Structure 1
Amino acid sequence: MGLAEWLQVPIDDNAAYKNDVWTNRDLIPIPEDRRTWDILGYLGYWVVGGACISAWTTGSTMLSYGLNAQEAIGAVVVGSVVTGLLAVSCGWMGERHKIGFTVSSRFIWGMRGSYFPVLCRIFTACCWTGIQGYWGGQATRVLIGAIIPGFAHMKNTLPESAGITTNDLIGMLIWYAVFALTISIPPERMQRPFFLTFVLFAGTAFGMLAWAVAQTGGSAGPLFHTRSAAPQGRGWAFMFGVTSLLGSWGAGTLGQSDWTRYARRPRAPTLSQVLAAPLTITLTALIGIVVTSCGQAVFGEVIWNPIYMLAAIQEHYGSSPRARAGVFFASLGLVASQLAINTVLNSVSTGMDMAGLAPRYINIRRGGYVLCVVGLAINPWRLVGTANKFLTVLSGFGVFLAPMTGILLAEYLVVRKQKLRMSHLYRGDSGSIYWYWHGFNPRVVVPWLMGVWPLMPGFVAGVNGARVAAGWTRLFNLTFAVGLAVSFVCTLLVDWAFPPPHLGEEDEYHPFVEEQEEGEEKKGVEVEEIVV
């Protein structure tokens, strides 16, 4: 018992809560002293979330799929606007009730059933952490190579079957070590690190843009003068570009309440999500497309990743001191960006999800450390081997998350009309109105399955190359839209046919209130017995 108590996560001084199966410091509604985020803070959040390598490569990777530059920009604009609207809708619960995705899953899926969406999101975040960490490691490798040119050409001592070179592996291990340090920063104190990251990445993006345009004499490069070459048709390729972007940010919008619960005042995140999300994602992707287009004129090939572009620039100028200085500062922005984006989209939310699995022993910080280990262990370099495989992986995430997003929006905004019994979200017995059937809500099973099954044939075909009818592939191209819409409508139909109990009831979270009432009732019984 002594060891078990020692391993438990810390509790605030004079706390009114206790660590149990459903509760710890990071799972309760955020108290006022931890609500530190204002409008500028959320602008910084979306600047970090939108101005990153993911946004850069999402736009430019569409070029390799067959879209021309103008079509790729259009797909990014549409996808980023929808992302902003989804972020507002999914984040509204955090603004109002100060709870995140982990706890909100309890009133949707049931107290025990909530483990399923939490585990799905943990799996997704582990994949994303691995991908972002791999890019962060490559950026670190380029940064070190700018200081020590020999490191860029280090002899590879790993076998070809490893799928990664020695210097890439060293860079990734160094990046993960730095990332582990950033996990120790609590979410309510991340505004300043986010601002520093924005400054560094903005310098990288606009510096590379200035260099690229100068190389082509002020033009946007040859890709802006090419015709669409999408084999399945321009319309379907365009929609695939939109849904691949939604797949990239799907996990972030689904768990937007993880961050909006830190809002200092109501609606502080709303404006930033509506405006900053589309602007930053679109601007970053546009810069990436222009740099990629200009880079084709310089290097004779499409280099869609800015990390590879920086390495090519250093080689192009023969590792001259001037080129190495530019590459060093540019790669510094990319390294910082990867640290921030992994914190924004992965470590905080996944740490809270893991805390939901074992609240007594895991909090956001400890869950983040577990995420580091798992993200590295999945061999992420195999997920991003090619541009098309990369797009398939991004879209594939939406197969499972999009239906959950539709269910969340339908349940909270329409069925329950934003009314929750907060105290019952931390009560794991039949006395909770969210206990349903043995802790599971069977009403959500059908909407989730109905949102997933039409997308699975196309997803499987995209991953392993199996042949399926063109209709299945096109449905998969519309992953996020189809999954969200189908599950949203099915949730409304199921809840109309079988209404959840206690709709319209609401209260506040008051820890120990029920225990005190039970204690008073027990005391009253004892007094009555003495009187008798």
Structure 2
Amino acid sequence: MIQATSLTNEDLAPTTPEHRTWGTYNYIALWFSMSMEITTYMLASSLIAGGMNWKQALSTILLGNLIVLVPMLLNAHAGAKYGIPFPVFVRASFGLRGANIPAILRAIVACGWFGVQSWLGGQAIAAMVNVLWPASAHMPWVLWICFLGFWCLNMVIVWRGVESIRFLQSFSAPFMLVMSLTLLFWMVHKAGGLGPMLSAPSQFKTTGSFLHFFFPMLTAMVGYWATLSLNIPDFTRYAKSQESQIFGQAFGLPVAMTFYSFIGIAVTSASTVVFGEPIWSPIVLLGKFHQPFVAFLALIALLVATLNVNIGANVVSPSNDFSNLAPRLISFRTGGMITGLLGLAMMPWKLMSSFGTYIFGWLVGYSALLGPVAGIMVADYFLIRGTRLDVRSLYRRGGPYEYSKGFNPRAIAALIVGVLVALCGLVIPSLRFLYDYAWFVGFFLSSAIYVVLMRAFTPEETHSLEQPLVVEEAL
């Protein structure tokens, strides 16, 4: 039993056996529901718009998701083993107070994603209104009303708590599977079969020009789920067993992303055949259909998918992260409200202004911040501690995770170096490759620096950090 302190509240405390209700299906459904949404589609379609053929695009997506699955499963282990959320887990490496640094970095990125998803959901609603009321297409205020309305809908679900998320995703995943296949078959029919859809050649004439585009896109693929690779303990803390979350994620993430990305790739390729240009936004594409019923039904599917991923991926983590700042004052609900307000302040309509801004500005840019955090977390838990945590000490001052007044200067130094090295490619043209590989550079550099600095402790200090577990494991 964790005693009440300034470092805990009901949302941050370890889960009890009664809370362990998520089985393998729930994690498969989680990834299918979070993958089958507009930004995944647009991520895949941007590869086609950038010049890849369908085979190159699909291979890039599969490789990126297999790569990000590794830190995803590694960080998920502690959540399932000890029942602790991300902002508590990261206290082991950054310190009891220092954990707020990576938690807030993750939260800010999630707020940006929340705004992006809310904007896209608002666009989908506006497109449905346009189908029913064509004159509204010339009324800009309709879009803004739809955007704010969808934002309010997200807030209502946040207020109902995490179990409403599991309920929503369990039933929406099969629905989204059916609707996605319907959209694919419809576009196959419009394009005259799969042949014309997938026959477009690669626009890259040389291997060098292809690789120049490939590596930043691969980083974007990894960066797409870099957020979840950090806060996945927020979900695996509810796992019935370690095996249920491992099998559910190992199957759900790569299969769902590859499947739905293929739909985005195929439909975008078909748009070139049908409309004479690759249309990377499904909302814009559906707006070109003259069959109101088809467009309306497809837009409803996009809306449900956007709602799913926004709540599951972009509210749970920042709500816990903000709660970690002041556990007695900020609950999960209050953290969710903060997330929603910051999402509006980050002006998502600018982040999604073009596929170049979306990929190279947003996805690659924030991966430079989150890659180092992931590297430090994995190195600390597996290489420094051998998966052993003193759970009680994660919730009280003065224990092995106190470091220097609650901050671990070694983790902070490793984080700063990893971020700065990755971002220097933005200002030094000859080092642009460091930014193109931002997540990889930050992950491996920060983890290596962290291990070296931590092992430079005296034997007495090292012994205190690796003491045996004093709290019975959750599993």
Instruction: Sort the TM-score into its range (normalised by shorter chain).
Output: over 0.9
Partner of 2:396: 427
* CA distance, structure 2, for counterparts of residue 229 and residue 427 of structure 1: 57
8 Å CA contact 1:220, 1:293 repeated in 2: no
Contact 1:422 1:506 in 2 (8 A): no
Structure 2 contact 112–346 (Cα < 8 Å) conserved: yes
Structure 1 residue 305 and structure 2 residue 290: aligned?
no
For residues 202-244 of structure 1, what are the alpha-carbon distances to aligned partners after superposition, in whole Å with 9 as ceiling and x for unaligned? 2332122111111121125456422233896212322222110
Q: Deviations over 1:250-296 (max 9, x none)?
A: 01111111100001223210011111100100111111010000011
Which residue among 219, 223, 228 is the counterpart of 1:247? Answer: 223
* Pairing 1:78–2:66 present: no
The one of 505, 508, 516 aligned to 2:467: 505
Query: SS of the residue aligned with 1:146?
Result: helix
1:194 equivalent among 162, 169, 191: 169
CA spacing shift, 1:220–1:373, aligned 2, 3 Å: farther
2:245 aligned residue: 269
Give the distance between the partners of 1:469 and 1:53, measured in 2 at CA. 33
Alignment deviations for residues 24-78 of structure 1 (CA, whole Å, 9 cap, x no partner) = 0011111111111111111111111222222211111122223232211110010
Q: Which residue of 2 aligns with 1:110?
A: 95
Alpha carbons of structure 1 residues 220 and 208: separation in structure 2 relative to 1, 3 Å:
farther
Change (3 A) 1:115 1:136: same
SS of the equivalent of 1:61 reads helix
Which whole-Å CA distance do the structure 1 matches of 2:350 and 2:176 have between them?
Answer: 26
The amino acid of 2:185's aligned partner reads A
- Name the SS of the counterpart of 2:159 in structure 1: coil
Decide whether aligned partners of structure 1 residues 446 and 16 sit closer, same or farther in structure 2, where only a CA change above 3 A counts.
closer
Aligned to 2:437: 478
Report the equivalent of 1:178. Answer: 153
- For the residues of structure 2 that align with 1:267 and 1:22, how far apart are their CA atoms? 30
For residues 112-511 of structure 1, the aligned pairs below 5 Å read: 112-151=97-136, 153-156=137-140, 166-221=141-196, 224-229=199-204, 233-313=209-289, 317=290, 323-392=291-360, 393-428=362-397, 431-458=398-425, 460=426, 468-470=428-430, 472-498=431-457, 501=462, 502-508=464-470
In structure 2, distance between residues paired with 1:224 and 1:380: 34
Q: Letter of the 2:240 partner, please give it.
A: R
| 1:31 equivalenced with 2:1 (yes/no) | no
Q: How many angstroms does 1:373 deviate by?
A: 1.5
CA-to-aligned-CA distance 1:434-471 (integer Å, 9 cap, x gap)? 1111211111123212322222133x35xxxxxx424x
The AA in structure 2 aligned to 1:259 is F
- State the alpha-carbon separation in 1 of the partners of residues 71 and 345 from structure 2: 31
CA distance in 1, matches of 2:376, 2:190: 50
Matching residue's letter, 1:334: L
Q: Normalising by structure 2, what TM-score?
A: 0.94
List gaps (5 residues or longer) in structure 1.
1-14, 157-165, 318-322, 462-467, 511-532
Q: What percent identity do the matched residue pairs reach?
A: 27
CA distance in 2, matches of 1:122, 1:352: 9
Structure with the bigger RCO (C-alpha within 8 Å, sep 6+) is: 2
Runs (5+) with no aligned partner, structure 2: none
Task: Give 1:464's aligned residue.
Answer: none
Aligned letter for 1:45?
L
